[in-house]
Amino acid sequence: MSSATLTASAVNNAARRGSALGRRLLVISAWLVFLLFLVLPLFVVLTEALKQGVGVFFTSIFEPDAISALKLTLLAVGIAVPLNLLFGVAAAWCVSKYEFRGKSILVTLIDLPFSVSPVIAGLIYVLLFGAQGFFGPWLREHDIQIIFALPGIVLATLFVTVPFVARELIPLMQEQGTQEEEAARLLGANGWQMFWHVTLPNIKWGLIYGVVLCTARAMGEFGAVSVVSGHIRGYTNTLPLHVEILYNEYNHVAAFSVASLLLLLALLILLLKQWSESRINHLKARAGEE
């Protein structure tokens, strides 16, 4: 504690006591908001899922359609996240290491998919690749199926998750500047060596953080995927779509069981995120000490 704070607290004892009360009130209300707003929905998902016992819960999760939905979701995530990771690194690189005209426009464009409704994200691919769309006749002639199949689902997922890795990396890389890289170059490293040995270690945790966010969003995307999925049971249903379908089949318990599977995945992602974040803070703190 600095000396200024010490004096302040000494002088203002009365105010302190008042603020201790205020502080307690604030903490309690934060807890209330947290419990009512964030925890209660989780509680509902889990209780609804376990309403008819653990047996029904596991049957719903291991049912073939649920498994194939899980596979499809992981497959879409497995394709979309690496692609957006590559994009995020490239975009962050050119935005943070160089100055050029139109940079702020580029940054806005990278952020754009965030504020586009997922439904629109689905719609635009239908307009492009649907049978009535721009490329529809050509695709049909060549027997290529994009929407209502895996490519469409991946495209929709890619669209909604474009910004996340780049958004995490840009501020981080801007903060780090270019000195270390320049030094590496002067010492004779080539471009790739510089990237692997200097840049990557510096941005590693930010990268992981971005990937975690990207994965979360990709896994849970509903609106965009719903437009391009075709809802073929066991084939083009992702997990979130499968939840909707079960919900619409009077299969309340199964819907909430699969939902709680997604919830568990979400909690796992939060853990990963927390971990990478603490690594970032740790590194920052160390950099501060040096």
Residue placing its CB nearer to other proteins in the complex, 53 or 191: 191
**Residue 6 identity (one-letter amino acid):** L
Closest by Cα among 241, 223, 222 to 232 = 241
State how far Cα 85 lies from the chain centre.
11
Q: Count Cβ atoms below 10 Å from residue 265 Cβ, excluding itself.
A: 19
Show Cβ contacts of residue 158 under 8 Å, excluding neighbours closer than 6 positions: 80, 83, 84
Residue placing its CB nearer to other proteins in the complex, 27 or 54: 27
Q: Output the six-digit token pair for 129.
A: 């690749």
Count Cα neighbours of 242 within 13 Å in the Cβ-side half-sphere: 32
- Cβ burial of 128 (10 Å; 0-12, 13-18, 19+) is middle
Closest by Cα among 154, 172, 121 to 281 = 172
Rounded CA-CA distance 233/260 in Å is 20
Minimum distance, C-beta of residue 237 to other proteins, in the bound complex (Å): 9
Total residue length of the chain: 290
Minimum distance, C-beta of residue 199 to other proteins, in the bound complex (Å): 9
Residue placing its CB nearer to other proteins in the complex, 120 or 200: 120
Rounded CA-CA distance 137/130 in Å is 9
